[in-house]
Amino acid sequence: MKKGKVYLIGAGPGDPGLITLKALECLARADVVIYDHLVSSSILAYAPPQAEKIYAGKSAKMHFAEQDGINKLLVEKARQGKIVGRLKGGDPFVLGRGGEEAEALRENGITFEIVPGITSAVAVPAYAGIPVTHRGLSSSVAVITGHEDPSKKSSSIRWDKLATATDTLVILMGRQNLPQITAKLIEHGRKPETPVAVIKDGTLPTQVTLTGTLEDISLKVKKMGLEAPAVIVIGEVVKLRDKLRWFDNLPLFGKRILVTRASRQAGSFERLLVQRGAWPVLLPVIEIKPLASNVRLDTAIKRIGHYNWIAFTSVNGVEFFFDRLRDLGLDSRALTGLKISAIGPATGKALHKFGIRADYLPKTYTGRGFVCGLQKQGVGGQRFLLPRADIADAEITRGLKKLGAQVDEIAVYRTTRPGYSPSETKEMLLRGNIDVITFTSSSTVTNLVSRLSSSQIARLSAKIACIGPKTAGTAVKTGLKVDIIAKEQTMSGLAEAIENYFRKEA
């Protein structure tokens, strides 16, 4: 029987980009993933698809699993010979009870490994523009729990010593006890005017930072209704926030942007939005699937030397074409002597993965731009192979034929509508909790609109952003008001157009 092992993994403070490479490597080996309340779904996605995923979250108001139960679960799964990834927010050994879990594993003879994570005690203040130490302001920092074990007879925190012992105090899990904490610090010598920051949802697009002093911060937090989880920073370094804040100054900070692209394509656009501070909300309204069989494509590949050009009009077209090329026992060498074209930079980049640099890339990344750029190439009488989607329009085919070219347009993948629609995301849309709806093709427009009634469409308050005029035209026909159209018809062009729109609005 395979010997089990437990990885106690620090998942970082919330932003999926702050998880370490080693954490991801260990997570990829897991048979079972036991994860906490603050671990994002983006991080869970790195676990093997077949891995068992068990939620063991604890929050201020609700415990799905008590600590003793979690300890027993870790032991049980490891004894079954499984590799267990125990995902904990922040760092396992910084007020994360990872020490207790490690003790339980050692007592039961279970092999374990600690994978440190970025603690929220440092990362959350950094995302708020507050360094926990700073030359001339703070040479020392203490990290303190604001929520001790309730079974303890008395507090082990020496507030009389801590109040003035270090320049900066960082308090985790202290939101509920904030009035008592501030009172203790003032009582034991910390000045009432000492700057304080309370940071909720640190490192996430929903981050909120409230500043005040020891004297007034509790009242401010109560008036705002700021709930846990929150990190509290106390000290002169808080004054640096106005100068050093960066995260909540990003151009799309906090904007909820609906991404309607297919799941396999959404990642790159999602990253572009996150880089600008946005909160991507995924609602794939199309699915990209291979064809069950494709005799026409197989025939075209077997007589590939018959063609002069292969014209790729999407990343999917590239990937599915080369998948089939490989299935037939061939590789890029089979295309020797042909000219290869790509409709845009993303498609060109997809070709690079197969060792191919496009011979032709239009200046304007549209069907019309593609054809216009070929007018000077003298393509009359030449044979083109177009591996495309099953629902692709005929603009390029018509244009090439007008130039005198011969065209074989062959579907290499199909675009379908998913059989599900996440109700929570749809409710966000209808409640007005989405700031922007993005459309990257006419099919994303029609498929989303088909899920809504005419009255629901009329109620939409989100701005509509389209990748180009053709998609925008489809949106207008369905009754939507288009607010944003990308000048460059790429994912980066669409993200830039959204950013420019809100910059003008500011």
Pairwise pLDDT comparison (40 vs 181), residue with the higher score: 181
CATH number (domain holding residue 103): 3.40.1010.10
> Can you give the residue range of the structural domain that contains 83?
5-118
**Residue 470 to residue 478: CA distance in whole angstroms:** 13
The predicted model scores a pTM of 0.82
Token pair of 390, please? 């099953």
Same domain, yes or no, for 126 and 242? yes
In a domain, 292, yes or no: no
Q: How many residues does the chain have?
A: 506
Q: Are 467 and 486 in contact (CB under 8 A)?
A: yes
* Active-site residue, from 5, 173, 200, 255: 173
Q: Report the largest interatomic distance among the alpha carbons of the chain, rounded to a whole angstrom.
A: 90
**Residue 349 to residue 495: CA distance in whole angstroms:** 18
CATH number (domain holding residue 177): 3.30.950.10
Same domain, yes or no, for 405 and 433? no
Same domain, yes or no, for 126 and 237? yes
Judged against a pLDDT cut of 70, whether residue 148 lies above it is answered with no
In a domain, 299, yes or no: no
Same domain, yes or no, for 243 and 133? yes
Q: Are 251 and 394 in contact (CB under 8 A)?
A: no
Q: Is 36 a catalytic residue?
A: yes
pLDDT of residue 454: 87
- Answer whether the bond into residue 150 is a cis peptide, omega within 30°: no
Mean pLDDT of the chain: 92
Q: Is 359 a catalytic residue?
A: no
**Residue 9 to residue 11: CA distance in whole angstroms:** 6
Same domain, yes or no, for 154 and 226? yes
DSSP of 370-415: HHHHHGGG--TT-EEEEEEETT--SHHHHHHHHTT-EEEEEEEEEE
Same domain, yes or no, for 231 and 192? yes
DSSP 474: H
User: CB-hemisphere CA count at 13 Å for 475?
Assistant: 23
Same domain, yes or no, for 212 and 272? no
CATH number (domain holding residue 450): 3.40.50.10090
* Active-site residue, from 31, 36, 167, 435: 36
> pLDDT-based confidence at 21, cuts 50/70/90?
very high
Same domain, yes or no, for 147 and 48? no
Q: Following CA atoms 288, 290, 296, 301 in sequence, which dihedral angle do they give, to the nearest 10 degrees? A: 100
pLDDT of residue 292: 81
Token pair of 106, please? 């050692």
In a domain, 294, yes or no: no
Domain boundary among 380, 412, 444: 412
Domain boundary among 118, 141, 166: 118
In a domain, 98, yes or no: yes
Average confidence (pLDDT) over 364-373: 89
Query: Could you report the per-residue pLDDT of 305-352, keeping only the tens digit for each?
Result: 999 999 999 999 999 999 999 999 999 999 999 999 999 998 999 999
pLDDT of residue 41: 83
Average confidence (pLDDT) over 48-74: 83
Same domain, yes or no, for 383 and 436? no
> pLDDT-based confidence at 372, cuts 50/70/90?
very high
Structural domain tally of the chain? 4
In a domain, 342, yes or no: yes
Same domain, yes or no, for 111 and 134? no
Domain boundary among 118, 148, 174: 118
Judged against a pLDDT cut of 60, whether residue 62 lies above it is answered with no
Name residues whose C-beta falls within 8 Å of residue 323's C-beta, 6 or more positions apart in sequence. Answer: 290
Helix, strand, or coil here: 21? helix
Average confidence (pLDDT) over 454-463: 90
Total Cβ atoms within 10 A of residue 334: 15
Q: Which residue has the tokens 């656009």?
A: 269
pLDDT of residue 194: 98
Same domain, yes or no, for 148 and 241? yes
Q: Is 200 a catalytic residue?
A: no
Pairwise pLDDT comparison (105 vs 367), residue with the higher score: 105
In a domain, 293, yes or no: no
* Active-site residue, from 22, 58, 72, 426: 58
pLDDT of residue 149: 61
Judged against a pLDDT cut of 80, whether residue 451 lies above it is answered with yes
> pLDDT-based confidence at 150, cuts 50/70/90?
low
Same domain, yes or no, for 498 and 433? yes
In a domain, 302, yes or no: no
User: CB-hemisphere CA count at 13 Å for 243?
Assistant: 5
